[in-house]
């Protein structure tokens, strides 16, 4: 997936978690609408500034790739999640939306502010690109 495709997905209104999952959905036989619905509640750090949506989307991809519903798959899945976290934090400094944006966008007022001052536009695409690049490396 190249950056142009990522920007196109975001310009269509997909949030960070949706964009990351959509970049990989076809590899797992998931249609676009299903991927959008599954990942829709993870934007804005799950609407409270917690885990970055791009990270949440990446966790979904890792689950699709490495989980097979058995206890044995949990060990490998945990290793891949921890590897992802290390690489993401090396590129972006944090996995927490509030830390990345420098503002908690839980309130509508702060969300409007973050859009208005360009914070979302400056930060979020880079997080999505980092998540997709890291996933490409480790899956």
The per-residue pLDDT for range 107-135, each reduced to its tens digit, is: 999 999 999 999 999 999 999 999 999 99
pTM: 0.94
pLDDT tens track for 9-59: 999 999 999 999 999 999 999 999 999 999 999 998 898 889 999 999 999
Tell me how far apart the alpha carbons of residues 129 and 3 are, in angstroms, rounded to a whole number. 7
Q: Identify the three-state secondary structure at position 96.
A: strand
| 70, pLDDT greater than 90 | no
Q: What is the pLDDT of residues 86-102, one digit of tens each?
A: 999 999 999 999 999 99
Q: How would you class 7 by CB atoms within 10 Å of its CB: exposed for 0-12, middle for 13-18, buried for 19 or more?
A: middle
- Distance separating alpha carbons of residues 40 and 6, to the nearest angstrom: 16
Q: What's the token pair of residue 16?
A: 């960070």
Structure tokens at 9: 């997905």
**Residue 67 confidence class, pLDDT cut points 50, 70, 90:** very high
DSSP 42: G
């Amino acid at each position: 997936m190249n950056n142009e495709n990522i920007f196109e997905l975001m310009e269509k209104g997909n949030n960070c978690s949706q964009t990351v999952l959509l970049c990989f959905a076809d590899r797992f036989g998931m249609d676009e609408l299903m991927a959008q619905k599954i990942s829709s509640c993870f934007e804005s750090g799950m609407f409270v500034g917690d885990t970055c949506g791009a990270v949440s989307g990446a966790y979904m991809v890792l689950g699709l790739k490495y989980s097979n519903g058995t206890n044995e798959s949990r060990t490998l899945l945990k290793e891949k999640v921890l590897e992802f976290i290390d690489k993401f934090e090396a590129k972006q400094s944090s996995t927490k939306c509030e830390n990345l944006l420098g503002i908690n966008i839980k309130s509508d007022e702060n969300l409007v502010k973050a859009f208005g001052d360009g914070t979302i536009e400056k930060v979020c695409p880079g997080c999505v690109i980092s998540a997709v690049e890291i996933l490409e490396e480790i899956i």
